[in-house]
Amino acid sequence: MAHKSEKKIITKNEMEKLESELTELRVVARKEIAQKIKEAREQGDLSENAEYDAAMDEQREIESRIDELEDLLKNVEVVDEGELDLETVNIGSKVTVMNMNTKKQAVYQIVGTTGANALLGKISNESPVGRELIGAKVGAKIVVELPSGTVTYKVMEIHKPE
């Protein structure tokens, strides 16, 4: 059942990581799992062979992830962080914001959904804060509805990622 996917916007760095994972799965993981299956088959009766069942499950997972990555990479638009301007927030931008409620500052990098990692300060362009920050300029105030309530952020600085 094929469905039309909308284009996902990701950074060049994210694309390189996805391509690297895909190559690793195609080249290394496929060979390793084929070897495990071969060894399990050589043990004889497959009906009660836990190693064979586990290897087949692992193969299905690998092939599923390969399909997922191939589909994802067909439907991406890549943003080169090196070409970002510092006038407005975009995917790839690093942004210093001040939470106007707490007066605390935070630094976020806006990334595509595949690169989001809140613990590293990387927030998705599809997250509530990321969505509101896209297109904002230094000095702009954005209001975000979060589960914890309404938060107002002020864009303090836009910089390129390291």
Q: Which residues have C-beta within 8 Å of that of residue 70, sequence separation ≥ 6?
A: 22
pLDDT of residue 5: 52
For residue range 64-110, list pLDDT tens digits in order: 999 999 988 888 877 776 666 778 888 888 899 999 989 999 999 98
Specify the higher pLDDT residue, 133 or 86. Answer: 133
Total residues found in the chain within this entry: 162
In order, the DSSP letters of 46-109 are: STT-HHHHHHHHHHHHHHHHHHHHHHHHHTEEEE-GGG--SSB--TT-EEEEEETTTTEEEEEE
Of the listed ranges 47-56, 72-81, 139-148, the one predicted with least confidence: 72-81
CA distance 125 to 9: 8
CA distance 20 to 67: 14
Please compute the mean of the pLDDT values over residues 125-142 and round it to a whole number.
Answer: 91
Structural domains in the chain, CATH included, are: 8-79 (1.10.287.180), 81-159 (3.10.50.30)
The answer to whether residue 2 scores a pLDDT higher than 50 is: no
- Note the helical H segments in 3-49: 12-24, 30-41
Please compute the mean of the pLDDT values over residues 115-128 and round it to a whole number.
Answer: 88
Please tell me whether residue 121 adopts helix, strand or coil conformation.
coil
pLDDT of residue 1: 40
pLDDT of residue 42: 86
Specify the higher pLDDT residue, 87 or 161. Answer: 87
For residue range 10-48, list pLDDT tens digits in order: 778 888 888 999 999 999 999 999 999 898 888 877 777
